[in-house]
Amino acid sequence: MSEDISKRRLGRGLAALIGEMDQPVAAPGAKPSVNPDRTVPIEFVSRTARNPRRYFDESELQDLAGSIRQHGIVQPVVVRTVAADRYEIIAGERRWRAAQLAGLVDIPVIVRDVDDRTALELAIVENVQRSDLNPLEEALGYDQLIAEHGYTQNDLGEIIGKSRSHVANSLRLLKLPDPVRDMLAEGSLSAGHARALVSTPDPVTLARTIVSKGLSVRDAEKLAQNHIKAQTSGGPVPKAEKDSDTLALERSLTDRLGLAVSINHKGDGGQLRINYKSLDQLEQICRLLEGR
């Protein structure tokens, strides 16, 4: 069987391989819809650095831990064997983390004998089906499959059940600078907002404006287009409005120094500008900087 055919068949057979993991979680007190292969000591199970999911909300973990204390783990954790009596998580790290918080000694697992590539595919598909990945995690997972296993965007689309354009748009998010990616990961920016910023001259400043003003995706796209047009026409790029924290800091410094102060962010840095109207005011600034 060729590798291409194997990839296509794997995309359709993933649910069967993990044990119908995409079935709805049973109601509290009900029996698991998927029977575990065995129950193992929780300390014998470890997370994998290959998990595309990187962010776990602490309050949600605490809520899940409370449910687990009362009802146990309804959906088994999917693992693979890495050594004698030692297992690595393929899917279900959130349940494993919550089980530790709940003080469980043993957890139910489904054991699957798969290689690194298939383990990553399973983790991505399971998380995408449940909408557990934020847009940045999803993009990083796709990028890892492409970089490590030579997948094309078409391959990924077939495996995860998404269009090639969806994969391409997800990967575009990785072009954004780290401050914007952080906003995307924490949920203050949506994927639609972030995609609008990819080709702009100053995505960090625009992202801060979008968040502070609560702009819709459509408004964010218009803002981005205005900046791109200004850049290509050679005219001045319109300045984004400053957020409330920056304006408050400007006022505080102005009041303290008795001189007009302006702050302009650009990327992780920026400019702090102090305006003076006379040599006496300049001398005052120099004394302050020298600590006199």
Q: Which residues are catalytic?
A: 93
Strands 77-83 and 106-111, sheet pairing: parallel
Taking the CB of residue 231, how many other CB atoms lie within 10 A of it? 15
| Residue 181, CA atoms < 13 Å, CB-side half-sphere | 17
Cα-to-chain-centroid distance, residue 17: 26
Helix or strand (DSSP H, E) at 284: helix 279-290
Cα-to-chain-centroid distance, residue 95: 19
Which residues face 212 on adjacent strands? none
Tell me, what DSSP letter sits at residue 65? Answer: H
Strands 38-41 and 106-111, sheet pairing: antiparallel
Contacts for 169 with CB less than 8 Å, ≥ 6 apart: 191, 195
Query: Cβ distance 197 to 176 under 8 Å?
Result: yes
Q: Alpha-carbon torsion 175, 176, 179, 185, what sign?
A: negative
Query: Cβ distance 228 to 220 under 8 Å?
Result: no
Cα-to-chain-centroid distance, residue 110: 27
Residue 271 CA to residue 261 CA, distance in Å, equals 10
The encoded tokens of residue 239 equal: 């300045």
- The 3-state secondary structure of 162-195, one letter per residue: CCHHHHHHHHHHHHCCHHHHHHHHHCCCCHHHHH
